[in-house]
Structures are given as C-alpha cells and as structure tokens.
C-alpha cells in the first residue's frame, strides 16, 4: 500500500481510518474522497482531499489515475436502517459505487478493500457461532447489497485477478464520528446520553444480542488484512470478525460501573428491531484468526472505560 484512495472518507469508518493510514503510510499517500465538502474537517486539512460521488465512474477513475493509486479502500455506502428506508437509492449507491470501484481496481491493478457486515446474514443463518461459510439469505436491502458485494469481490478476484480483501464487520463503536443510519448505532448513542443525560431510551429490545467491535480494533483488522500474505487468504470477501457480543442491558450494566445512577428505558423501533433480529447473535472469527492473525484488544468493559473517558474530554472541549 503506497498510494491509497479512500471513498466515504468522512463516514463512520473513514473518519478514523484515513487518519490512521496517514499516520502509518504518510499524509500525502492517503487520498481521502467523499461526496461532501467540509472545509474545516481534520481529514480535509491533513492531506489530499477530493469531492467524489462514487456513482461517477469517470471521476473515480480520473482521481485514481491522477494520484497513481495502488490501493482502493471503498467505504462509501448507506447503512442498514437508511437502506431500508430508501432501498432503491441503497441499491444504486451501494452496488453502483462498488462496481465502479472494482472496475478502477481492475483497470489500474490496485489492491482492494471493502467492508461487508454481519448484515450479510439473515433469519435462516445459524444464530450462534455463525460460521465463515454458512447460509446467507438476508431480508434487508443492506444485506442484499452486502451478499452481492461479497460475491462481486470474489468474482473480480477469480475472473480478473484483482487482489480483493474484506471483512464482515459487526457493529462498530467509536467516539470520533457518529454513525448514520445503522441498526447498531444504539451502542454508540448510549455513551453520549449516559454522559450528557445519565439516561438513555433504547430502540433495540432488551435481550437482543449482536456482535460489536471498538473502532481501534476495526482499524487494526483492516490494516492487518491488507498487509497479510495473499497466499494464506482462503477468502477474498469477506472474513467474519468480531470482538464481543452483547445486548443493550449489558452495555447499560458496563456504563453503571462508572455512572452508577445511569437509567436505561426502552422504546423499541420495529424496523431496526426486525433488522437486528434477522442478524446473528455471535459470529465465529476462526478463519480470520487462522489466515491472517486477527486479534482484538477491547472487550465490553475495556471499551466502556475508554469510550467514557474519550467522550467526556471530547464533549468538554466542545463546551469550552
């Protein structure tokens, strides 16, 4: 990875991945792109930044050529709940963007990363210890996009030799960029509300387990997979990865270790609850461990300690 083009750079993963890549590979080596132009964003100010709508194949190709990129990290996508509200837009953006990015990778012989998700599983998938190769019949537009995306990445690898790599991310938790339109967002919002209100009304029902991961582990997983020896990779898209599985009451209990009077109540959103119930409770990441040494550092309690500390100082800075 010498010159890396990142799409969706101002999104949930991109906001942190770009900074992390710039630290490791050099600021000028990471070309951040997003559909939005925000002048004062740290990503816009800390290295090359270009406005890019990923459905514009021509501009994507031009930018990749201009910066002589050898790696594409394609992150631009609508998340699960937004995709359910706007399914046709999700299809056009998620699939159109992906095929454009894969085409640029094929034409310019780039290494390629795009995230899949536990959303690629569905109600008929085994719920526990969900395997690397298992039933994938999702019932959401986001899931349909993710399965089609996984297959498309496999296709580009086998048919054209594009070095495609990917992971099935669980819900990602971070104090930097707020997620937008995901089903797992409650596990981020809860920390903000715990600090600001000492109370949170959860839209996911008590007892609903989903896999989760703290963002530093997710960033490390992306870099480790991209740096892995290609001959050891049995899967080209996408490896199951997870750090923990919990339900809303577990996060509330972890927060109460630090904020004892924190109160949790529930007002379940039927749309996001249905999406959450269609996903596994806990997936199995053995293949990722075996093939490229996937590991994580943060469990629920370590993540909660760090989230609360980092968010507190972030929110304090905003006030002052």
56 vs 189 by CB, closer to ligand VAH: 189
Q: For residues 169 and 298, which CB has a smaller minimum distance to ligand VAH in the complex? A: 169
Q: Looking at beta carbons only, is 33 or 140 nearer to ligand VAH?
A: 140
Q: Does residue number 183 form part of the binding site for ligand VAH (CB under 6 A)?
A: yes
Closer residue to ligand VAH in complex, CB, 195/212:
212
Window of 96-104, 168-176, 261-269, 302-310 that interacts with ligand VAH by CB under 6 A: 168-176
| 280 contributes a contact to ligand VAH by CB under 6 A | no
Q: Which of 67, 142, 200, 214 is catalytic?
A: 142
Q: Does position 117 bind ligand VAH by CB under 6 A?
A: yes
What are the tokens at 40? 């004062």
Of 49 and 191, CB closest to ligand VAH: 191
Residues in contact with 53: Cβ distance below 8 Å, sequence separation at least 6, in sequence order? 35, 59
Q: Is 15 in the site for ligand VAH (CB under 6 A)?
A: no
140 part of the interface to ligand VAH, by CB under 6 A: no
- For residues 163 and 61, give the distance between their C-alpha atoms in angstroms, rounded to a whole number: 18
Q: Does 118 bind ligand VAH (CB under 6 A)?
A: yes
Out of 10, 79, 254, 307, which residue is the one contacting ligand VAH (CB under 6 A)? 79
Two structure tokens written together for 167: 């992971």
Number of residues that bind ligand VAH (CB under 6 A): 13
CB 142, min distance to ligand VAH, A: 6
Residue of minimal Cβ distance to ligand VAH: 182
In whole angstroms, how close is the CB of 139 to ligand VAH at the nearest point?
A: 14
Judged by CB under 6 A, the residue of 3, 111, 130, 184 near ligand VAH is 184
145 binds ligand VAH (CB under 6 A): no
SS3 for the chain, per residue? Answer: CCCEEEECCCCCCHHHHHHHHHHHHCHHHEEEEECCCCCCCHHHHCCCEEECCCCCHHHHHHHHHHCCCCEEEECCCCCHHHHHHCHHHHHHHHHHHHHHHHHHHHHHCCEEECCEEHHHCCCCCCCEEECCCCCCCCCCHHHHHHHHHHHHHHHHHHHHCCEEECEEECEEECCCCCCCCCCCCHHHHHHHHHHHCCEEEECCCCCCCEEEEEHHHHHHHHHHHHHCCHHHCCCCCCEECCCEEECHHHHHHHHHCCCCCCEEEECCCHHHHHHHHHCCCEECCHHHHHHHCCCCCCCHHHHHHHHHHHHHHHHHHHHC
Judge whether 142 counts as a catalytic residue. Answer: yes
Please identify which residue in 182, 222, 243, 244 interacts with ligand VAH, judged by CB under 6 A. 182
* Interface ranges with ligand VAH (CB under 6 A): 79-80, 117-119, 142, 169-171, 179, 182-184
Q: Which residues are catalytic, by number?
A: 142
């Amino acid at each position: 990875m010498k010159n890396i083009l990142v799409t969706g750079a101002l999104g949930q993963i991109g906001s942190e991945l770009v900074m992390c890549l710039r630290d490791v590979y050099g600021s000028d080596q990471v070309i951040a792109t997003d559909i939005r132009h925000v002048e004062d964003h740290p990503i816009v100010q800390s290295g090359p930044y270009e406005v890019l709508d990923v459905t514009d194949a021509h501009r994507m190709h031009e930018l990749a050529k201009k910066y002589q990129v050898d790696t594409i990290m394609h992150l631009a996508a609508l998340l699960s709940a937004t995709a359910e509200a706007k399914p046709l837009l999700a299809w056009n953006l998620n699939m159109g963007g992906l095929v454009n990015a894969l085409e640029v990778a094929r034409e310019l012989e780039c290494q390629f990363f795009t995230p899949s998700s536990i959303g690629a599983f569905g109600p008929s998938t085994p719920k526990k210890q969900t395997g690397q190769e298992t039933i994938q019949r999702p019932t959401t537009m986001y899931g349909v996009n993710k399965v089609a995306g996984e297959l498309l990445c496999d296709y580009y690898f086998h048919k054209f030799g594009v070095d495609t790599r990917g992971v099935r991310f669980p819900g990602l938790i971070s104090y930097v960029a707020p997620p937008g339109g995901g089903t797992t967002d409650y596990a981020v919002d809860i920390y903000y509300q715990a600090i600001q209100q000492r109370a949170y009304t959860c839209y996911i029902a008590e007892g609903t387990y989903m896999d989760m991961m703290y963002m530093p582990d997710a960033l490390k997983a992306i870099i480790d997979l991209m740096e892995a020896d290609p001959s050891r990779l049995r899967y080209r898209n996408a490896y199951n990865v997870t750090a923990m599985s919990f339900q809303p009451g577990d996060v509330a209990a972890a927060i109460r270790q630090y904020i004892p009077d924190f109160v949790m109540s529930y007002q379940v959103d039927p749309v996001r609850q249905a999406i959450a119930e269609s996903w596994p409770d806990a997936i199995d990441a053995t293949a990722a461990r075996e093939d490229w040494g996937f590991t994580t550092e943060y469990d629920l309690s370590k993540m909660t300690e760090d989230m609360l500390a980092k968010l507190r100082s972030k929110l304090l800075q905003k006030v002052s």
